[in-house]
Structure 1
Amino acid sequence: MSGDPRIEPTMVKAPHGARTMEIEWADGHKSVLPHEILRGYCPCAVCQGHGGTIHFVPGGDLSLRDIQQVGNYALQFTWGDQHDTGIYSFRYLRSLCQCDACKPTFSPGSVP
């Protein structure tokens, strides 16, 4: 792991049929990530291109079908339309948090 408790998940919960995923972090923070945010900020090149700037891209099937861990640093999701090319680092997932404490500094790709 990274050694930074802000980006070390201790629990990931995404119940079948739900429209949010919850991540509890080693620093005690809990992120509730709506599927719309996860899918809209998919970091893959198909969704974001190669420009480096992350943009919200609406659309796509928001049913989360599968979650796979990628090494010790990321998660990969398979959506209902079989889109599965985004690899979401734990740092990136933390940056997508929409809670009241995080939202004022919301900036995909950065950790406060």
Structure 2
Amino acid sequence: MNQAPVAVRNSAAQATLTVDWGQGQVLVLGHGRLRAACPCSKCRAARLAQRIDVVPDGIRITAIHAQGYGVQLVFDDGHDRGIYPWRYLRELGEVAG
């Protein structure tokens, strides 16, 4: 499903991104989890090469930019290349369980 959520809320204090899909469907993902799962080409290539990058403790999302089909997340380590499609965010939530 590529449908946009009803709301996206960022909590720097809790280091979580909450995605509200409506009808009681709410997904909460940690900033570290999102940074580690960045879908940009550089991060995907590193994961495919089985090169593990450690996400720094305390990583935070500093900005969220709507992209229509998803969101671009900007992290306080300067990384801003990843655009997270709505479907991908749902998949991350299913894996995280």
Work out whether the TM-score is over 0.5: yes
1:89 aligns with 2:70: no
TM-score (norm 2): 0.79
Higher normalized contact order (CA 8 Å, seq sep 6+, divided by chain length) = 2
Q: Residue 5 of structure 2 contacts residue 20 of structure 2 at CA under 8 Å; is this kept in 1? A: yes
The structure carrying a bigger helix percent of its residues is 2
- Equivalent pairs counted in the alignment come to 94
Equivalent residue number for residue 37 of structure 1: 33
> How many angstroms does 1:16 deviate by?
3.4
Equivalent residue number for residue 110 of structure 1: none
Where 1:77 maps in the other structure, the secondary structure is: strand
Q: Percent identity?
A: 30
Give the distance between the partners of 1:43 and 1:36, measured in 2 at CA: 14
Cα 1:38/1:51, change in 2 over 3 Å: closer
Q: Residue 7 of structure 1 contacts residue 94 of structure 1 at CA under 8 Å; is this kept in 2? A: no
Where 1:62 maps in the other structure, the secondary structure is: coil
**Deviation sequence 1:48-106 (CA, Å, 0-9, x none):** 11887xx9743146111100001x21100111011000010001011111xxxx3xxx2
Give the distance between the partners of 2:22 and 2:69, measured in 1 at CA: 14
State the superposition RMSD in angstroms: 2.7
Equivalent residue number for residue 58 of structure 1: 54
TM-score (norm 1): 0.70
Cα 1:84/1:23, change in 2 over 3 Å: same
- Runs of 5+ consecutive residues of structure 2 not aligned to the other structure: none
Give the distance between the partners of 1:50 and 1:59, measured in 2 at CA: 13
Give the distance between the partners of 1:30 and 1:57, measured in 2 at CA: 28
The structure carrying a bigger strand percent of its residues is 2
Give the distance between the partners of 2:22 and 2:52, measured in 1 at CA: 28
Where 2:32 maps in the other structure, the secondary structure is: helix
Q: 1:23 aligns with which of 19, 23, 37?
A: 19
